[in-house]
Structure 1
Amino acid sequence: MKPLPEIKVHWKRPPLDDRPLERRVGLIILATDHTSEPDFRRMVASERIGVYVARIPYKNPTTPENLRKMQPALTAGAALILPDEPLDAICYSCTSASVVIGDAEIEAAVAAAKPGVPVVTPPMAGVRGLNAFGVRRISILTPYTVETSRPMAAYFAAQGFEIVSFTCLGFEDDREMARIAPDALVDLAREATDPSAEALFVSCTALRAALAISGMEAAIGRPVVTSNQASAWNCLRLCGDETARPEFGRLMTLPMKRG
């Protein structure tokens, strides 16, 4: 065997960019989540924007009690995302847990690890998305049980929306929710939308609704706002990205109202 060559340190270090990518979005997802990460890769990630993911413990069934148990893990989850480096936004990707835990509590937990970083939750983003359309009368579709859907109804009612119809599918396992086919969501959206509703909110980050938004909007003839779509839109706008992405619904063509 020939002797190894001498390893030399190059005499000059190359210049370094400020960041590998211009913008950074953190994403905290459930250990069982099949959908949020690919949806954010599809809708948010680009040559300019990086998506950085941390998973936190979660066990089914999807009940308010189990959802609330994730709260203590949020700070540690946020801390795992590019430690000691700034982010442009961070999203906790669980709609039902967000309404049970509370937006303010989630923001505080994330801020303990990432102070000053804008925090996005799916229901918060959903409200912003619906406000971007200027609608008040909405229908809501969730895959959850009635027990888990009640806090969702209370959340949107507290934000000033008139819920003219609310349909849930009765699932308890988020892994099964992820297996609902996008084509089936189009039919469900049609059935769940009240004629008097101005828009439909489809809740749950497990649903593959991003792949069905165009079909749902065509089927019901009005805007559809979904959990992952709204969160992605909110994060993009926080990154200064105003690019229209109509393939992911009308919301992705709108600016986000500030304040």
Structure 2
Amino acid sequence: MTALGFLYPGHSAEDDYPRIEMLLASDIRLVLIHTDIGEDAHRVDALLEMGSADRLAAKVEELRLAGAEAVVWACTSGSFVFGWEGAHEQVRNLAKAAGMPASSTSFAFAHAVRELGASRVAIAATYPEDVAEHFAAFLKASGAEVVGTRGSGIITAAEVGTWGRDEVLALARDGDHPDADVVLLPDTALHTAAYIRDLEADLGKPVLTANQVTVWEALRLAGRRANCPALGQLFAKEPIVQVRD
């Protein structure tokens, strides 16, 4: 049995995780602990506070008691707003506090893009445009070429969590770009686990979504392999390749 830990802000699309655990159909257990979200706002100041070291450290003891072998901060916007170097510092602090390997959803996206052998990405974000541009800057720092960035102007995770299949498909279509090798949907508040195959079939290319890559990153940290085509092309590649920054 491998237990993978996730620190998830508030309540919105956390039910993606038991769905993914079921799809993996393995001895992998996904342990999700909710952090204090503070102000629910896709606004830079609120996101910096949401991802502060103290807020994350406050919940790591619960993960240790649950037997987690690795932890991922399951929040994209609450990591990339710190910038490339700041996001590294965030996960270093998290690893030190937790006493286990750590990462974040932002780095999960960067690593997953490399795993797919992609170089050009399109961003289909729920966020306001200014926040989406912070994600674009983060990906550029990782070495990816961002060929398109589209924000949707949604301020709260609570609203994003109400979106269903039709809204998710529309988001991906609107954010796609003909030059993109892969389309990224970077919000862990967005339900996507049930729609990844539909998204890839609709767009005709790989699609990376926040909760999907977050689980993949935790598996990578724990040195586990998982082949699960229901979770898209990222999970159809085996073994998972170790990525060094």
Question: Deviation at 1:162?
Answer: 1.2
Alignment map for 1:75-114 (pairs within 5 Å): 75-83=57-65, 87-101=68-82, 102-114=86-98
| 1:68 lines up with 2:48 in the alignment | yes
User: Tell me, which stretches of 5 or more residues in structure 1 are unaligned?
Assistant: 1-21
Distance in 2 (alpha carbons) for counterparts of 1:56 and 1:243: 27
Distance in 2 (alpha carbons) for counterparts of 1:233 and 1:65: 28
Alignment map for 1:88-237 (pairs within 5 Å): 88-101=69-82, 102-115=86-99, 117-237=100-220
Match of 2:17 among 26, 34, 40: 40
8 Å CA contact retained: 2:40, 2:157: yes
Question: Deviation at 1:146?
Answer: 1.4
User: Tell me, which stretches of 5 or more residues in structure 2 are unaligned?
Assistant: none
Question: Deviation at 1:89?
Answer: 1.2
8 Å CA contact retained: 2:92, 2:102: no
Q: Aligned partner of 2:59: which letter?
A: G
Q: Higher helix share goes to which structure? A: 2
Distance in 2 (alpha carbons) for counterparts of 1:131 and 1:108: 21
C-alpha RMSD of the superposition: 1.8
Between the two proteins, what is the percent identity of the paired residues?
26
1:17-39 deviation line (CA, Å, top 9, x unaligned): xxxxx2111111112x2213x22
Distance in 2 (alpha carbons) for counterparts of 1:140 and 1:256: 23
Normalised by the length of structure 2, the TM-score is: 0.88
Question: Deviation at 1:69?
Answer: 0.7
Q: Aligned partner of 1:49: which letter?
A: I
Question: Deviation at 1:108?
Answer: 2.6
1:157-210 deviation line (CA, Å, top 9, x unaligned): 111111111111100010101111122211221222111111111110011122
* SS of residue in 1 equivalent to 2:163: coil
Q: Aligned partner of 1:98: which letter?
A: S
Distance in 2 (alpha carbons) for counterparts of 1:188 and 1:111: 34
Change (3 A) 1:119 1:246: same
1:94-135 deviation line (CA, Å, top 9, x unaligned): 1001112333222233223222x1212111111111111111
* SS of residue in 1 equivalent to 2:40: coil
Larger radius of gyration: 1
| 1:256 lines up with 2:240 in the alignment | yes
Question: Deviation at 1:237?
Answer: 3.6
Distance in 1 (alpha carbons) for counterparts of 2:26 and 2:171: 35
Which residue number corresponds to residue 15 of structure 1? none
* SS of residue in 2 equivalent to 1:171: coil
Change (3 A) 1:47 1:165: closer
Question: Deviation at 1:47?
Answer: 6.0
Question: Deviation at 1:48?
Answer: 1.9
| 1:24 lines up with 2:3 in the alignment | yes
Structure 1 runs of 4+ off > 4 angstroms?
A: none
* SS of residue in 2 equivalent to 1:29: strand
Question: Deviation at 1:214?
Answer: 1.0
Which residue number corresponds to residue 10 of structure 1? none
8 Å CA contact retained: 2:165, 2:195: yes
1:32-67 deviation line (CA, Å, top 9, x unaligned): x2213x222222365622222322212222211011
Distance in 1 (alpha carbons) for counterparts of 2:215 and 2:106: 12
Change (3 A) 1:195 1:47: closer
Normalised by the length of structure 1, the TM-score is: 0.84
